[in-house]
Amino acid sequence: MTYPDTIPALTIQSTPEAAQAYAALTQDWNPIHLDADFAADTPFGRPIAHGTMALNLLVEAIARAGLRIADLDIRFSAPTYVGQSLTATARHQGAGSYEVTVLAEGETPVLTGRATLKARG
Protein backbone atom coordinates (compact mmCIF):
# COMPACT_ATOMS: atom_id res chain seq x y z
CA MET A 1 0.00 0.00 0.00
CA THR A 2 0.98 3.64 -0.34
CA TYR A 3 1.44 5.45 2.94
CA PRO A 4 0.76 9.17 3.25
CA ASP A 5 3.80 11.32 4.07
CA THR A 6 1.93 12.86 6.96
CA ILE A 7 -1.23 12.16 8.92
CA PRO A 8 -3.42 15.28 8.70
CA ALA A 9 -3.15 17.31 11.88
CA LEU A 10 -6.08 17.00 14.28
CA THR A 11 -6.61 19.60 17.01
CA ILE A 12 -8.83 19.77 20.06
CA GLN A 13 -9.10 22.15 22.99
CA SER A 14 -8.49 20.63 26.41
CA THR A 15 -11.13 22.80 28.03
CA PRO A 16 -12.51 22.17 31.53
CA GLU A 17 -15.58 20.74 29.79
CA ALA A 18 -13.34 18.36 27.81
CA ALA A 19 -11.63 17.31 31.04
CA GLN A 20 -15.04 16.50 32.53
CA ALA A 21 -16.04 14.56 29.42
CA TYR A 22 -12.77 12.63 29.47
CA ALA A 23 -13.33 11.81 33.13
CA ALA A 24 -16.73 10.39 32.19
CA LEU A 25 -15.19 8.48 29.30
CA THR A 26 -12.50 6.84 31.43
CA GLN A 27 -14.20 7.08 34.83
CA ASP A 28 -10.99 8.78 36.00
CA TRP A 29 -12.16 11.52 38.34
CA ASN A 30 -8.73 12.37 39.73
CA PRO A 31 -9.09 15.96 41.01
CA ILE A 32 -5.75 16.96 39.52
CA HIS A 33 -7.62 17.09 36.19
CA LEU A 34 -10.82 18.70 37.42
CA ASP A 35 -10.36 20.75 40.58
CA ALA A 36 -8.39 23.99 40.40
CA ASP A 37 -8.14 24.29 44.17
CA PHE A 38 -6.75 20.77 44.49
CA ALA A 39 -4.35 21.24 41.58
CA ALA A 40 -3.07 24.50 43.07
CA ASP A 41 -1.46 22.48 45.85
CA THR A 42 0.35 20.13 43.45
CA PRO A 43 3.67 20.75 41.67
CA PHE A 44 1.69 21.59 38.52
CA GLY A 45 -0.11 24.47 40.18
CA ARG A 46 -3.21 24.15 38.00
CA PRO A 47 -5.26 21.34 36.45
CA ILE A 48 -3.59 19.14 33.89
CA ALA A 49 -5.36 17.16 31.18
CA HIS A 50 -5.52 13.37 31.36
CA GLY A 51 -2.41 12.10 29.59
CA THR A 52 -4.31 9.74 27.37
CA MET A 53 -6.48 12.59 26.09
CA ALA A 54 -3.46 13.41 23.91
CA LEU A 55 -2.87 9.75 23.08
CA ASN A 56 -6.44 9.27 21.96
CA LEU A 57 -6.24 12.40 19.83
CA LEU A 58 -3.37 10.72 18.00
CA VAL A 59 -5.30 7.43 17.77
CA GLU A 60 -8.28 9.30 16.30
CA ALA A 61 -6.13 11.25 13.82
CA ILE A 62 -4.67 7.96 12.57
CA ALA A 63 -8.13 6.38 12.27
CA ARG A 64 -9.44 9.36 10.30
CA ALA A 65 -6.58 8.85 7.86
CA GLY A 66 -7.91 5.34 7.18
CA LEU A 67 -5.12 3.65 9.12
CA ARG A 68 -4.79 1.69 12.34
CA ILE A 69 -1.99 1.22 14.82
CA ALA A 70 -0.20 -2.08 14.38
CA ASP A 71 2.15 -1.05 17.15
CA LEU A 72 2.96 2.18 18.94
CA ASP A 73 5.55 3.19 21.51
CA ILE A 74 5.26 6.68 23.00
CA ARG A 75 6.22 8.64 26.06
CA PHE A 76 4.41 11.49 27.69
CA SER A 77 7.07 14.17 27.55
CA ALA A 78 5.31 17.06 29.31
CA PRO A 79 1.99 17.82 30.98
CA THR A 80 -0.87 19.46 29.11
CA TYR A 81 -2.55 22.17 31.14
CA VAL A 82 -6.31 22.28 30.95
CA GLY A 83 -7.20 25.05 28.53
CA GLN A 84 -4.35 24.37 26.12
CA SER A 85 -4.88 23.17 22.57
CA LEU A 86 -3.61 19.74 21.52
CA THR A 87 -2.54 18.92 17.98
CA ALA A 88 -1.63 15.41 16.82
CA THR A 89 0.56 14.80 13.79
CA ALA A 90 2.54 11.92 12.30
CA ARG A 91 5.32 11.89 9.72
CA HIS A 92 6.16 8.87 7.56
CA GLN A 93 9.66 7.48 8.00
CA GLY A 94 9.27 4.61 5.56
CA ALA A 95 7.66 1.17 5.35
CA GLY A 96 4.65 2.25 7.38
CA SER A 97 6.73 3.55 10.29
CA TYR A 98 5.77 7.00 11.54
CA GLU A 99 7.21 9.52 13.94
CA VAL A 100 4.26 10.65 16.05
CA THR A 101 3.86 13.85 18.05
CA VAL A 102 1.22 15.70 20.00
CA LEU A 103 1.90 19.38 20.63
CA ALA A 104 0.34 21.66 23.24
CA GLU A 105 -0.40 25.13 21.91
CA GLY A 106 1.24 24.06 18.65
CA GLU A 107 4.74 24.14 20.09
CA THR A 108 5.32 22.04 23.23
CA PRO A 109 5.64 18.29 22.66
CA VAL A 110 3.53 16.49 25.24
CA LEU A 111 3.66 13.09 23.51
CA THR A 112 6.45 11.76 21.29
CA GLY A 113 7.27 8.38 19.82
CA ARG A 114 6.85 6.10 16.87
CA ALA A 115 4.15 3.91 15.39
CA THR A 116 3.77 1.29 12.70
CA LEU A 117 0.53 1.85 10.82
CA LYS A 118 -1.53 -0.39 8.57
CA ALA A 119 -4.60 0.09 6.43
CA ARG A 120 -7.91 -0.38 8.20
CA GLY A 121 -10.20 -3.23 7.28
Q: Which residues bind other proteins (CB under 8 A)?
A: 12, 17-18, 21-28, 50-53, 55-57, 59-60, 62-63, 68-76, 113, 118, 120-121
Measured from the CB atom, the residue of 60 and 105 that comes closer to other proteins is 60
Q: Which candidate, 45, 57, 44, places its Cα nearest to that of 18?
A: 57
Measured from the CB atom, the residue of 91 and 118 that comes closer to other proteins is 118
Are 26 and 52 in contact, with CB atoms under 8 Å apart?
Answer: yes
Within 8 A by CB and 6+ apart from 75, the residues are: 111, 112, 113
Measured from the CB atom, the residue of 46 and 120 that comes closer to other proteins is 120
Taking the complex as a whole, the smallest distance from the CB of residue 107 to other proteins amounts, in Å, to: 21
Bridge partners, 89 (sequence order): 101
Taking the complex as a whole, the smallest distance from the CB of residue 91 to other proteins amounts, in Å, to: 19
Measured from the CB atom, the residue of 91 and 120 that comes closer to other proteins is 120
Taking the complex as a whole, the smallest distance from the CB of residue 23 to other proteins amounts, in Å, to: 8
Instruction: Judge residue 121's burial from the number of C-beta atoms within 10 Å of its C-beta, 0-12 exposed, 13-18 middle, 19 or more buried.
Output: exposed
